[in-house]
């Protein structure tokens, strides 16, 4: 039986930048054993020599001619901004005491 | 009028016996009458729809050549960006967002003159096995308002089933078009991966997502498929090849000599009795029409669900990183000099629902160093084995078939606290997504034990989508003769509705 402790979930939530209440951490950690057991079935198969598929198509880099095409106006690009200033996205403090 | 097929409505428009404005008003009336019960729509754009309808009517009057579906109303899953119209993907994190651009699917719909009635409800970011995971409350199944209409394009399927729209657009990452089509008694197609542009389709799992059509008949679905599909330079995974002749195939509907492969692993134990019975009956019908039925073995399908629930959450944990409270969408906790990281974490907590958080955490775990090879890496190798199973099966058959879902529609709330039971609803649809091929669900009748619709799934190789329509149209016509009336005529008429 796989398991993930409350602290493991808290660490993952931190990496994923999701604040979680104590109740959410405990409930997720209790569900995770069951979910991990189910998905761990992928390890039951002998996969020696099998190539991984990341995508249904064999993709190569696709380039287009370097021609200027219409794009969003600054007003459109900023239309959904939670906060803006001088035609820019205003963001919370990214440097300083936080760390 | 609203109970007609889209093809019949299009004929009436061409003959001048009705107008797009009349058709649009009739559907808006039906939405006003029944959507309080079904809750298929998150946003109804009555003014926008009537303006589109009026414009098409004027073009028709002036003798302009129009596309076959011009003037026909349609419902759009809220996962597709439409300029100026609220687009949420069923999530509180996007509440109130009005995209500054159209997705390519919307551009194509508009160019073809389709009238977009509004945006339909869905599981948040298309994750879940019922629309119970919408940030805006569940959509209910028109066949029984205590039951789910299915994953995750439940709003689009319910709208078509409740005659609120003759056509709808959905998206299918693990079965999200085919399974709700099955549970609501309509037709739904997941086209080949890359056949329909993903530009402007809010991403859940980029290697699995694909938008596709819903209709009440195979032909209607084909007509919409033809409008949506085609190469798009804005999507690097879009296939640069002609659209398969799906409308011609839906009109021919001939299965004489066609080899139909029944997938051994997708039937029997775990499938509801009435679901299996309707499936077996449809097979007999196809055999009586001259198809050759063979059994095919896909041994690795047993692991498809496990692989899917690693690949999709892994891709989602990466895709949903874009919801960072900086450029659009919700921002909370931005006061008193809080750091960007704290604002991001508080916003993602407030904006994401329980299932989305569960999948982001699972994906973060599956991709983390030390676990990557055991989980995500193994899942990708299983994906290769599933592709090989299909490749072998398609040397033995032209199309493959199975029941679309293991059960009929279940009660709202029944599985919401049991994620693994909920995930099992996708067991028969997921292999198609992993392999990037195409699949259709069409009604196979009602299960005897609960009188709810059962779906019959047809699968075909990549870019052979016309085979779905050829086999589907043949089965549909034969079943219609047997039943005497379309399956939706057996659904209860909703209070106040037509």
Q: Is there a contact between A89 and B340 if contact means CB atoms under 8 Å apart?
A: no
What pLDDT, on the 0 to 100 scale, is given for residue B14?
96
Is the pLDDT at B470 greater than 80? The verdict is yes
B101 in Cβ contact with A72 (< 8 Å): yes
Catalytic residues of B: 77, 152, 176
Q: Which residues partner with B339 through β-bridges?
A: A93
Q: Render pLDDT for B199-250 as a digit per residue (tens, 0 to 9).
A: 999 999 999 999 999 999 999 999 999 999 999 999 999 999 999 999 999 9
ipTM value:
0.92
Q: Is there a contact between B384 and A94 if contact means CB atoms under 8 Å apart?
A: no
- What is the spatial distance between Cα B224 and Cα B114, in angstroms, rounded to a whole number? 10
What pLDDT, on the 0 to 100 scale, is given for residue A99?
46
Is the pLDDT at B448 greater than 70? The verdict is yes
Sign of CA pseudo-dihedral B258, B261, B262, B266:
negative
* Domain range list for chain A: 1-44
Is the pLDDT at A98 greater than 50? The verdict is no
Residue with the larger pLDDT of the pair B384 and B354: B384
Q: Is there a contact between B462 and A41 if contact means CB atoms under 8 Å apart?
A: no
Interface test with A, best of B239, B299, B378 (most A CBs within 10 A): B378
Q: Could you tell me the pLDDT band of residue A62, with boundaries at 50, 70 and 90?
A: confident
- A94 to chain B nearest CA, in Å? 5
Residue among A41, A80, A96 minimizing CB distance to B97: A80
Question: Please, what CATH class does the domain formed by B6-301+383-490 belong to?
Answer: alpha beta
Q: Render pLDDT for B44-102 as a digit per residue (tens, 0 to 9).
A: 999 999 999 999 999 999 999 999 999 999 999 999 999 999 999 999 999 999 999 99
- What is the spatial distance between Cα B380 and Cα B205, in angstroms, rounded to a whole number? 14
- End-to-end Cα separation, chain A, in angstroms: 37
Q: What is the mean pLDDT of chain B?
A: 95
Contacts of B422 in chain A (CB under 8 A): none
Is the pLDDT at B31 greater than 70? The verdict is yes
Is the pLDDT at B358 greater than 50? The verdict is yes
Mean pLDDT of B182-205: 97
Q: Which residues partner with B295 through β-bridges?
A: B262
B464 in Cβ contact with B439 (< 8 Å): no
CATH for the stretch A1-44? 1.10.20
What pLDDT, on the 0 to 100 scale, is given for residue B131?
56
Interface test with B, best of A13, A17, A48, A50 (most B CBs within 10 A): A17
């Amino acid at each position: 039986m796989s398991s993930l402790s409350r602290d493991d979930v808290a660490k993952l939530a931190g990496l994923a930048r999701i604040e979680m209440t104590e109740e959410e951490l405990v409930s997720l950690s209790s569900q995770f054993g069951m979910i991990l057991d189910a998905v761990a079935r992928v390890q039951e198969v002998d996969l020696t020599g099998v190539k991984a598929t990341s995508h249904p198509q064999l993709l190569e880099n696709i380039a287009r001619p370097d021609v200027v095409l219409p794009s969003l106006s600054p007003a459109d690009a900023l239309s959904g901004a939670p906060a803006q200033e001088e035609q820019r996205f205003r963001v919370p403090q990214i440097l300083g005491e936080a760390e | 009028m609203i109970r007609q097929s889209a093809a019949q409505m299009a004929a009436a428009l061409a003959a001048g016996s009705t107008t797009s404005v009349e058709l649009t008003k009739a559907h808006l009336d039906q939405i006003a009458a029944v959507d309080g019960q079904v809750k298929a729509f998150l946003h109804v754009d009555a003014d926008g729809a009537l303006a589109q309808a009026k414009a098409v009517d004027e073009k028709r009057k002036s003798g302009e050549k129009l596309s076959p579906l011009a003037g026909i109303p349609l419902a759009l899953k809220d996962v597709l960006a439409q300029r100026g119209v609220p687009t949420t993907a069923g999530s509180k994190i996007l509440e109130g967002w009005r995209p500054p651009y159209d997705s390519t699917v919307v551009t194509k719909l508009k160019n073809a003159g389709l009238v977009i009635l509004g945006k339909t409800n869905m599981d948040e970011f298309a994750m879940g096995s019922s629309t119970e995971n919408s940030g805006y409350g569940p959509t209910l199944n028109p066949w029984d308002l205590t039951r789910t209409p299915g994953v995750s394009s439940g709003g689009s399927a319910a709208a078509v089933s409740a005659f609120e729209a003759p056509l709808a657009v959905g998206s299918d990452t693990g079965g999200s078009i085919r399974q709700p089509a099955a549970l609501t008694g309509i037709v739904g197609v997941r086209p080949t991966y890359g056949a329909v542009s993903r530009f402007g389709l809010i991403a859940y799992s980029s290697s699995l997502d694909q938008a596709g059509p819903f209709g009440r008949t195979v032909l209607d679905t084909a007509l919409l498929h033809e409008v949506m599909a085609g190469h798009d330079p804005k999507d690097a995974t879009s296939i640069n090849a002609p659209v398969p002749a799906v409308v011609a195939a839906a009109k021919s509907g001939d299965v004489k000599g066609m080899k139909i492969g029944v997938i051994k692993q997708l039937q029997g134990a775990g499938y509801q009795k009435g679901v299996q019975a309707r499936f077996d009956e449809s097979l007999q019908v196809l055999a009586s029409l001259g198809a050759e039925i063979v059994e095919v073995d896909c041994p690795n399908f047993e692991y498809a669900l496990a692989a899917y629930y690693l690949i999709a959450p892994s891709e989602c944990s990466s895709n949903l990183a874009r919801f960072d409270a900086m450029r659009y969408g919700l921002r909370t906790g931005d006061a008193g000099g809080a750091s960007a990281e704290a604002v991001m974490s508080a916003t993602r907590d407030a904006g994401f629902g329980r299932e989305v958080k569960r999948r982001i955490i699972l994906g973060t775990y599956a991709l983390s160093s030390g676990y990557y090879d055991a989980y995500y890496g193994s899942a990708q190798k299983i994906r290769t084995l599933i592709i090989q199973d299909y490749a072998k099966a398609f040397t033995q058959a032209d199309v493959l078939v199975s029941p679309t879902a293991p059960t009929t529609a279940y009660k709202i709330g029944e599985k919401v606290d049991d994620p693994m039971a909920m995930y099992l609803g996708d067991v028969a649809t997921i292999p198609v997504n992993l392999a990037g091929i195409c699949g259709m669900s069409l009604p196979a009748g009602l299960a005897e034990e609960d009188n709810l619709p059962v779906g019959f799934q047809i699968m075909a190789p990549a870019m052979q989508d016309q085979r779905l329509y050829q086999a589907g149209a043949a089965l549909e016509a034969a079943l219609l003769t047997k039943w005497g009336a379309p399956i939706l005529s057996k659904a209860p008429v909703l209070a106040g509705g037509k």
